[in-house]
Amino acid sequence: MNNSKEITIAVDAMGGDLGPQSVIDGVYIASKKTPKVKFIFFGDEKVIKPLLQKNNFLNKFEIFHTTQIITNNTKPIDALRNFRKSSMFKSIESVKKGLANAVVSGGNTGALMVISTVLMKTIKGINRPAIASMFPTKINNKITKKSRTVMLDLGANIECNTKNIIDFAIMGKIFSKTVLGIKKPKIGLLNVGSEILKGNLIVQSAANKLEKEKNIDFHGFVEGNDIPMGIVDVVVTDGFTGNIALKTAEGTAELYTNYLKNSFNDNIYSKFAFIISLPILKNLWNKVNPSKYNGAMFLGLNGIVVKSHGRANDQGFSNAISVAYDLCVNNFNEKIISEIKKNF
């Protein structure tokens, strides 16, 4: 990793459900780990500046004042046409113009995809970008790159055709190779069953073509419960299904966390058991904490765009910044572009 390379990250300070406070607190946490990063904050200066002063930022930063905010209710096409002075649009534009190396936003996913695609354009051979991120798996007891499964699309493309699914498989393979270092990633196609006749026409068609792809190690169909088992290195699906799977996994993690908390509060014996089990519980939470896996990349664009979960807290947004930083210093997008060109 070339840590001497200075990176500039554009931050959509007005994006996300928890507002600028969570975003800036998250950037501050990340800034202490990455002292060579410069941040450009896009948003309402009257709101942003006091928050930055409160955090006493150690890194270099700049504020770009914007007058519009894209909300979750803003239609993507409206965001593109009518919100060109928004924090999201301007932050993406800064990467397009070369003022920043990457952009991180927790805002409207559809708007982020449309604006990024129009401004940055897709890599030659790719019709649509896809959101890719990683799931923890059951491979071993330690959190390593090998114990994670790449999954895409996680919400950028609600409806997909066969070519989109094939593109996602190729990009997922390259992402797994470059980011996780897996030499020959095993690809699985998410379906309602592992049997060969299961699934709709698009899934069936994509599976038939993937089986014939010489450069792809196609495992076949995988089901939802196979994702955390680490059966494959890359899980491919459309954005509708992928986003539901992601949110279900996050909700399940929160549910079991609440179950554990309530169980240990039942009586004095359970509270004593909690104290004894605390080191084990901390280790468990460290493995399943959704914040640790926050930060998904749009694959297929001529630029680095990282999507943070809209409900991410400061720790979660900090992780999204770390993802953007790692992608920049390791030139992942350049590697992905180079590899994609070989596959088309």
Tens-digit pLDDT profile for residues 210-259: 999 888 999 999 999 998 888 999 999 999 999 999 888 878 877 877 77
Residue 308 CB partners (closer than 8 Å, separation 6+) = 15, 16, 104, 105, 106, 294, 295, 316, 317, 320
Bridge partners of 307, per DSSP, are 105, 296
Mean pLDDT of 157-182: 89
Handedness of CA 96, 76, 134, 8 (dihedral sign): positive
Q: What is the CATH number of the domain that holds 67?
A: 3.40.718.10
Phi, psi of 64 (to 5 degrees): -110, 110
Amino acid code (one letter) for 306: V
Mean pLDDT of 59-82: 92
pLDDT of residue 285: 57
Tokens describing residue 341: 């060109």
Whether 168 and 265 share a structural domain: yes
- Pairing assessment for the beta strands 102-105 and 304-307 based on DSSP bridges: parallel
Query: Which residue is associated with the tokens 């500046």?
Result: 49
Whether 171 and 279 share a structural domain: yes
Whether 167 and 40 share a structural domain: no
> What is the 8-class DSSP label of residue 224?
G
Tokens describing residue 102: 């990457």
The widest CA-to-CA distance across the chain, in whole angstroms, is 64
The yes-or-no verdict on residue 20 having pLDDT over 50 is: yes
Residue 253: give the domain boundaries: 137-290
Whether 286 and 332 share a structural domain: no
Local structure of 39: helix, strand or coil: strand
Burial (CB count <10 Å: 0-12, 13-18, 19+), residue 133: buried
Whether 214 and 304 share a structural domain: no
Tokens describing residue 240: 């509708």
Report how many domains make up the chain.
2
> What's the CA dihedral at 132, 136, 137, 139 to 10 degrees?
110
pLDDT of residue 281: 63
What pTM value is reported for the model? 0.82
Whether 10 and 154 share a structural domain: no
- Asked, for residue 295, whether it belongs to a domain, the answer is no
Q: Per this entry, what is the length of the chain?
A: 344
